[in-house]
A and B are shown apart, each in its own frame.
Chain A
Amino acid sequence: MEIALKAFAAALAVAIPALATAWAQSKIGSAGLGALAERPELRGVVIILVAIPETMVIIGFAVAYLIIAS
């Protein structure tokens, strides 16, 4: 039971931030493409902006690992 709960908790730790990241990236991505159509020189900045929300899922992954390893 404990193992199952741990696995479930680890899955949630990745899944919820992954959904949040996807939602944030979809918003930033569409706004970024709009900005690129007007000013193509912003390419570098837009790539960085799209990569910013990834922190959530990456930290979620680390937390999931810690849950399983504990």
Chain B
Amino acid sequence: MIKKMTKLQIIGPKTQLDECIATLHELSVLHIEPVSLKGADDTITHIPIEDEKLAKKTVLDEIQEKTKNLLFMLSAPSDPSAYEGSENLEDVAIEIEYIDEKINTLFLEKEDLEEEVQHLKDYETLLTGFVPIASELGGLKNYDIMGLTVETKRTNVIRLLEKEIDKITESQYEIHTSPLNESTTGVVLAVALKNAANVRRLFFGEGIQELKLPTEYEEQPLAQAIEGMAMRETEASHRLVKVKDTLNTISNEWSRKLEWANRQAKNELEEIAALRQFAQTRYCFIIEGWIPIDSFDKVKKEMNRKYGDQVLVKEFELSQDEVSKAPVHIHNAKWIRPFEVFLKALPTPKYGSVDPTPLIAFFFPAFFGIIVGDIGYGVIIGLLGLFMRYKLRDKEVLRDLMSVFVACGVSAVFFGFLFGELFGTLGEDLNLLHPIWFDRLKAIKSFLVISLGIGAGHVLFGILIGFYNKLKQKHMKEAAVKLLFFFLTLSFLVLMLALFKQVPGAVVSPVFIVFISIFIVLTILEGVLGVVEFIESISNILSYVRIMAIGASSVILALVANKVGESMGNVVIGITVAALIHIMNIIISLMSPTIQSMRLQYVEFLGKFYEDGGKPYTPFKK
């Protein structure tokens, strides 16, 4: 739901401005609104940022930047708890200055050593494979050795290159390739000295970077160079371990403190930046902003406790137009919250409109369940969702998405019971289950009618919410139009049912008169757009046929899996083949029903009432 907000004004003596800002920052509920000076006299001005504050800002910026860089260089500390320091930030900054140079030096050394060890390893792999070729050439006196690296997926480049080199050197070359790691292949090339310059020109022309042999080994015989490189690699690796150990020790001692300093600097910078949005008179400051209405007492109590009568906290009396400018704070029950992920693809809803999250939390898994409708598939999707939710617990959006899949799995199990499906018809074949509601394979016509019925209900419900939205915003004409749309669509549906003889004949004439009357009124009120919107509503309802279409194809594919499995003749092969087709169907079930169900929410349902144009609630918080 979208929380009710209230706008408040805080007025107090300028001497207590800094403490007041700190208190509001601590309370973490105020969405600051810049104080408007429109219509105010000269006695009220914006608060200028004094030189002292600007100097402090420069220092804080430096601390923030430096701590951020240092934290990047250090690994995570062994103790993950947050450091709660009581010391002065300026004192900690002096300590940071002392450690800064040490960490920088060690980090650079670590990077150099890592690069050197990697290079030496690459060369060793390449050159060791090249030794037999070198002896075939009878030493390397008359040859120039060049090294290259190529992405493994682009090794066809080597063949093309070899063709060119063959032309340039008149076949006086030797080439050796060897994989260096998963993605890179190394190439060593020996060409006659007289052709070396031309080959290098070719590399330059093609934009190929040559791998340079470390200078100290360039003049040495191959075997000696390999030996020397191996020794240096061991030496560098040992030093690397030591450097990493030292950095880890520093990290355990400093990381938490650096994080604290970074957080403190960020908080203080935010407090300075907030000043620009406030106003002042000669002796007082004025702060304005929005808070959730249920936090008002808490804010008032805390300000009273700290500042007594000196600071005044009062609520604004707002007009309907001003209220509509309130920031939008969406707050739902814990189990509904993962479904807020669907709103992330949409602009923020308008303040005062209906938050669709609880409705999506019901309808999305329900539609998914009706489409998949299989106990086996539901259990697998649910368990997969649970497992991935655990794996992705640190990534908020993906974790929420996985929670949605868990709900979808549960819904698929529920509808699986109603349709009597366990891996298609397997449950029924084994006499474990029977359709309670209807058999999706045999009663496709019923499935089609039920899908359209669901569509009619969903779209009409959407139009009713649209009516409620407009009524709440006191836009009476638009509310009336929504209500007329509701009855126009409803009367049209009744007439359609009459066409199939599903309603008593006596109803037709009055409903037809209602339909025509509303149609004329709507055309007068809304013009051509009204007609277009009516046709759109009908096509929206027809669009729910997809529930039947995708659902039927899912159950038919499951049936195919079982039939193909049965026809294999061998139990093991049969089960394997059936399982593979079921897995494929589950993968399709993860994609298609998700997209179709999502589309039904976004286009057909939300299109009837969702109003964007709100600004998100961003409280001033630590």
CB distance from A20 to the nearest CB of B (A): 15
Which chain A residue shows the least CB distance to B452? Answer: A62
Of A3-11, A30-38, A40-48, the stretch lying at the interface with chain B is A40-48
Given contacts A65-B444, A65-B448, A48 and B602 within 8 Å (CB-CB): yes
* CB-contact partner of A58 in B345, B549, B595, under 8 A: B549
By the criterion CB–CB under 8 Å, are A62 and B548 in contact?
Answer: yes
Q: In residues 8-30 of chain A, which contact B (Cβ within 8 Å)? A: none
By the criterion CB–CB under 8 Å, are B598 and A48 in contact?
Answer: yes
Q: In residues 570-622 of chain B, which contact A (Cβ within 8 Å)? A: 595-596, 598-599, 602-603
Q: Report the Cα distance A43→B596, complex, angstroms.
A: 15
Which chain B residue shows the least CB distance to A44? Answer: B345
CB distance from B539 to the nearest CB of A (A): 8
CB distance from A28 to the nearest CB of B (A): 13
* CB-contact partner of B545 in A43, A47, A62, A69, under 8 A: A62
Q: Report the Cα distance A69→B595, complex, angstroms.
A: 28
- On chain A, the residues within 8 Å of B598 by CB distance are 47-48, 51
Given contacts A48-B598, A48-B603, A65-B448, A55 and B543 within 8 Å (CB-CB): yes
CB distance from A30 to the nearest CB of B (A): 18
Q: Report the Cα distance A62→B597, complex, angstroms.
A: 18
Given contacts A52-B603, A62-B448, A65-B448, A44 and B344 within 8 Å (CB-CB): yes
Q: Report the Cα distance A46→B410, complex, angstroms.
A: 28
Is B176 located at the chain interface by the 8 A CB criterion? no
- On chain B, the residues within 8 Å of A44 by CB distance are 342, 344-345
By the criterion CB–CB under 8 Å, are B595 and A51 in contact?
Answer: yes
Q: Mark B149-186, 1 if CB is under 8 A from A, else 0.
A: 00000000000000000000000000000000000000
Q: Report the Cα distance A48→B543, complex, angstroms.
A: 14
- On chain A, the residues within 8 Å of B602 by CB distance are 48
By the criterion CB–CB under 8 Å, are B542 and A59 in contact?
Answer: yes
- On chain A, the residues within 8 Å of B445 by CB distance are 65, 69
- On chain B, the residues within 8 Å of A51 by CB distance are 595-596, 598-599
Which chain A residue shows the least CB distance to B546? Answer: A58
By the criterion CB–CB under 8 Å, are B345 and A61 in contact?
Answer: no
Q: Report the Cα distance A54→B545, complex, angstroms.
A: 11
CB distance from B323 to the nearest CB of A (A): 29
- On chain B, the residues within 8 Å of A48 by CB distance are 345, 595, 598-599, 602-603
The listed residue with most A CB atoms (<10 A of its CB), out of B542, B543, B550, B599, is B599
CB distance from B481 to the nearest CB of A (A): 25
**Chain B interface category by residue count:** 20 to 34
By the criterion CB–CB under 8 Å, are B549 and A52 in contact?
Answer: no
- On chain A, the residues within 8 Å of B548 by CB distance are 62
By the criterion CB–CB under 8 Å, are B448 and A55 in contact?
Answer: no
Q: In residues 509-557 of chain B, which contact A (Cβ within 8 Å)? A: 539, 542-543, 545-546, 548-550
Which chain B residue shows the least CB distance to A69? Answer: B445
* CB-contact partner of A52 in B448, B545, B599, under 8 A: B599
By the criterion CB–CB under 8 Å, are B595 and A62 in contact?
Answer: no
By the criterion CB–CB under 8 Å, are A61 and B549 in contact?
Answer: yes
- On chain B, the residues within 8 Å of A58 by CB distance are 543, 545-546, 549-550
Q: Report the Cα distance A65→B545, complex, angstroms.
A: 12
Which chain A residue shows the least CB distance to B451? Answer: A62
* CB-contact partner of A55 in B342, B444, B546, B595, under 8 A: B546
Q: Report the Cα distance A45→B546, complex, angstroms.
A: 19
CB distance from A56 to the nearest CB of B (A): 10
CB distance from B317 to the nearest CB of A (A): 38
By the criterion CB–CB under 8 Å, are B345 and A59 in contact?
Answer: no
- On chain A, the residues within 8 Å of B543 by CB distance are 55, 58-59
Given contacts A58-B546, A59-B545, A62-B548, A47 and B448 within 8 Å (CB-CB): no
CB distance from B511 to the nearest CB of A (A): 24
Which chain A residue shows the least CB distance to B343? Answer: A44
- On chain A, the residues within 8 Å of B599 by CB distance are 48, 51-52, 54
- On chain A, the residues within 8 Å of B550 by CB distance are 58
Q: In residues 116-170 of chain B, which contact A (Cβ within 8 Å)? A: none
Q: Report the Cα distance A61→B242, complex, angstroms.
A: 69
Q: Report the Cα distance A66→B5, complex, angstroms.
A: 53
CB distance from A32 to the nearest CB of B (A): 13
Q: Report the Cα distance A62→B345, complex, angstroms.
A: 30
Q: In residues 211-242 of chain B, which contact A (Cβ within 8 Å)? A: none
CB distance from A21 to the nearest CB of B (A): 12
By the criterion CB–CB under 8 Å, are A47 and B595 in contact?
Answer: yes
- On chain A, the residues within 8 Å of B549 by CB distance are 58, 61-62
Q: Report the Cα distance A34→B58, complex, angstroms.
A: 41
CB distance from A29 to the nearest CB of B (A): 13
CB distance from B217 to the nearest CB of A (A): 45
- On chain B, the residues within 8 Å of A61 by CB distance are 545, 549
CB distance from A50 to the nearest CB of B (A): 8
- On chain B, the residues within 8 Å of A54 by CB distance are 546, 596, 599
Which chain A residue shows the least CB distance to B540? Answer: A55
Q: Report the Cα distance A44→B603, complex, angstroms.
A: 12
By the criterion CB–CB under 8 Å, are A45 and B603 in contact?
Answer: no
Q: Mark B282-313, 1 if CB is under 8 A from A, else 0.
A: 00000000000000000000000000000000
Besides the known contacts A48-B595, A59-B543, A65-B448, 7 further A-B residue pairs in the complex with CB atoms under 8 A apart: A45-B345, A51-B596, A52-B603, A54-B546, A61-B545, A62-B448, A65-B444
Residues of B near any A CB (own CB < 8 A) = 342, 344-345, 444-445, 448, 539, 542-543, 545-546, 548-550, 595-596, 598-599, 602-603
Residues of A near any B CB (own CB < 8 A) = 43-45, 47-48, 51-52, 54-55, 58-59, 61-62, 65, 69
Q: List 5 A-B contacts (CB under 8 A).
A: A43-B345, A52-B603, A54-B546, A62-B549, A65-B445
Q: Which 10 A-B pairs have the closest CB atoms?
A: A44-B345, A58-B546, A62-B545, A51-B599, A58-B549, A61-B549, A51-B595, A55-B543, A48-B602, A48-B599
